[in-house]
Amino acid sequence: MSRVINYHCKSCDFYFSNHNYRFCFDDKMDCIEEYMPLFTSSDYGEDSLIRGRIIEKYCQSCDKTVRIYRFSPDSSIYTTDATIDFLKYYIPKKHDFFLEVIDFHKELIDMVNENRSLDEIGNFIRENDVYNLYELNFNHYLNNKKTGFNSSQLIRDIEFYLKHIENNMNKFDEFIICINSSEDNVNYNLDGEMFDENICPLCGEEFYKISLKEPCPKCGKNTMERSREMMD
């Protein structure tokens, strides 16, 4: 079971969530994979080259969430310096992977609109299975009519997936990314520059502590509320 803690202000639109994410290396996608530590996936990532947790902080000056990818020496097969270099390279590949997923879905729409053969479309999906994040099942759209298959529904579903993927990528772009080893009290940005662990690497200001005891960082009013979501 995992817990998500949400903070929101009753006086303005400020909203902040702490998701308790974990991360590991997904060699299938060749990038860092993020997940919630649910009971059903308690062993997920155990065989990863590197794994850790994602700490979420808030920078008031930048008005952005700062995601700190934290690892411990016993959660990586590499030395601390090598692990930092590994994460500097693979964390941005999540963004690149999203771009490739989007290209896959757009090309699939083009193939349907161009009335490509069913075999060609089916083969294209199978050959690019790594980008088929929503496990689009081509057979679901086939019918017994000689006219082919339900292409309009297929396109509607793909466009729905595209919107969701683009939203995820936009959220990823909004984060400030740091890397941290549990044995140090410093953070590293993706360029390898070192910062105090309580300092935003983008502006140099201290992180704002999100709490019911503190005023809203956006409007300054003492109207913060907290809610919890339990994920199982």
Per the CB < 8 A criterion, the answer to whether 84 and 179 are in contact is yes
Q: What percent of the chain has pLDDT over 90?
A: 48
Pick the closest to residue 57 from 218, 198, 202, 212 (CA basis): 198
Coil, strand or helix: which one is 49? coil
- Amino acid at position 112, single letter: V
92's tokens: 């941005």
The pLDDT, as a whole number, for residue 26 is: 81
CA–CA dist 87, 115 (Å, integer):
42
Phi then psi for residue 110, to 5 deg, are -60, -40
**What pLDDT digit, counting tens, does each position of 165-203 carry?**
887 777 777 899 999 999 888 999 999 999 999 999 999
What digits encode the pLDDT tens for the residues 42-71?
Answer: 677 778 889 999 999 999 999 999 999 999
> Domain extents for the chain?
2-91+175-231, 96-170
User: Is residue 140's pLDDT more than 90?
Assistant: no
What pLDDT digit, counting tens, does each position of 66-100 carry?
999 999 989 999 999 999 999 999 988 888 888 88
pLDDT at position 154: 83
- Between vectors from CA 202 to CA 101 and to CA 192, what angle results, nearest 5°? 75
User: pLDDT confidence of 133, banded at 50, 70, 90?
Assistant: confident
* pLDDT over 80 at 146, yes or no: no
Q: What is the predicted pLDDT for the residue at 206? A: 96
Q: State the pLDDT confidence band at 15, using cuts at 50, 70 and 90.
A: very high
Distance CA 214, CA 221 (A): 9
**Mean pLDDT of all residues belonging to the chain:** 86
| Mean pLDDT to the nearest integer, 120-138 | 83
Q: How much is the pLDDT for 87?
A: 94
